[in-house]
Amino acid sequence: MSSTTNTVPVKHKSISYAKWGYFFIAPFFVVYVACSLIPLFSTFYNAFFENYIDGLTQVGPNFVGFENFVTLFTPRPDGRLEIINYTGNTMIMWIMGAVPQIIFALLLAVIFTSDRMKIKGQPFFKTVIYMPNIIMAAAFAMLFFTLFSRVGPVNQMIQANGGEVFDFFNNKWSARGIIAFINFLMWFGNTTILLMAGIMGIDQSLFEAAAIDGAKSSQVFFKITIPLLMPIIIYVVITALIGGLQMFDVPQIISSGSGAPNNTTKTLVMSLNAYINGASKNYGMAGVISIYLFIITGVLSFIVFKFTEPKKGGKK
């Protein structure tokens, strides 16, 4: 490199390759700062401004301090606080989908990795269970919307068997159930693959030792698999939680954006979307909801992390 320079003024004690390290990780940081960090801070910044369109007239941006926060946390005249309602909807629909998703994925992962069962055609099954994840959520939602509509095939079957038409999307629990089921169907394959990787990472000799000691399958599962799989489970839960809090496309399409029935399927991001993509392009309110979402996500992730952390004491 320095072959063109003749003078060697400083003696190198050692050659530092560190700069190459920085060089190679630079692209990530550049992209991260440009695409994530700056938008993140600008969201916080926007939350303190009144900034929307009235008809074709731009209002603001005017600095309004915490006014948007106050608006978000002001109850409606009948005493309901929409943001809490939307948070509740989001969490309920996430739990309805995520709990079965993780249990089911865990079961499948154990079955697929079991030495005793030796399931044949594993690649085939793995592909099949992962398949729903490849399909666009919007397409999935459209499909279920058509299936369960009042004139759809499900109701036609119910009628053919002498039943009454059931209005799936105007009943709180069936509407939420369908949304949760779509999310479950889309994500359990992904979770299965992650958990399988985790289980395969556990030292096989532990399983063999347990088998020699005469442990039952359930004992192996609860005493070996689960504890050693905990880091992966935490990862799965936290990523699922973050994804779940941002639930948007499925309920948006299932309820045509209205959050019907009675705003019980309206999620936080649907509200955010109504502000930012609605008639007024309300950056201020959208910013406040984003911050709220950010804080909720942080707090819940922290709780999950704290709750599942291995207990201290004994050996260290």
Residue of 282, 292, 293, 193 lying closest to 247 (CA atoms): 293
In angstroms, what is the minimal distance from the CB of 105 to another protein?
19
Q: Which stretch binds another protein (CB under 8 A): 19-27, 148-156, 198-206, 217-225?
A: 148-156
Q: What are phi and psi of 57, to 5 degrees?
A: -100, 125
Q: How far apart are CA 24 and CA 175, in angstroms?
A: 49
Is 281 one of the binding residues for another protein (CB under 8 A)? Answer: yes
Of 58 and 217, the one with the shorter C-beta distance to another protein is 58
Per rule CB under 8 A, is residue 316 in the interface with another protein?
Answer: no
Does 273 sit near another protein (CB under 8 A)? yes
**Does residue 154 belong to the site contacting another protein (CB under 8 A)?**
no
* Residue 257 contacts another protein per CB under 8 A: yes
Q: What's the rounded Cα separation, in Å, for the pair 288 and 44? A: 8
CB 268 within 8 A of CB 90: yes
Q: Taking CB under 8 A as the rule, does residue 194 contact another protein?
A: no
Judged by beta carbon, residue 114 or residue 258, the one nearer another protein is 258
Selected binder of another protein within 114, 133, 149, 174 (CB under 8 A)? 149
Q: Which stretch binds another protein (CB under 8 A): 123-131, 149-157, 177-185, 198-206?
A: 149-157
Residues 68, 287 contacting (CB under 8 angstroms) = yes
Selected range binding another protein among 12-20, 89-97, 212-220, 291-299, rule: CB under 8 A: 291-299
User: By CB under 8 A, what part of segment 23-52 binds another protein?
Assistant: 32, 35-37, 39-40, 43, 50, 52
* Binding residues for another protein restricted to 74-133, rule: CB under 8 A: 76-78, 80, 82
The crossing angle, in degrees rounded to 10, of helices 172-200 and 122-134 is 140
Q: Exactly one of 48, 113, 290, 292 binds another protein (CB under 8 A); which one?
A: 290
**Among residues 62 and 217, whose Cβ is nearest to another protein?**
62
Integer-rounded Cα radius of gyration of the chain:
26
Choice between 168 and 207, CB closer to another protein: 168
Least spacing, CB of residue 207 vs another protein, in Å: 28
Number of residues that bind another protein (CB under 8 A): 64
Contact with another protein (CB under 8 A) among 104, 166, 221, 248: 248
For residue 177, state whether it binds another protein (rule: CB under 8 A): no
Report the C-alpha gap between 269 and 271 in whole angstroms.
Answer: 5
Nearer to another protein, 219 or 256 (CB): 256
Write out the residues near another protein by the rule CB under 8 A.
Answer: 32, 35-37, 39-40, 43, 50, 52-56, 58-59, 76-78, 80, 82, 138, 149-151, 167, 170, 172, 238-239, 242-243, 246, 248-249, 252, 256-258, 260-263, 269, 271, 273-282, 285, 290, 293-294, 297-298, 301-302, 305, 309
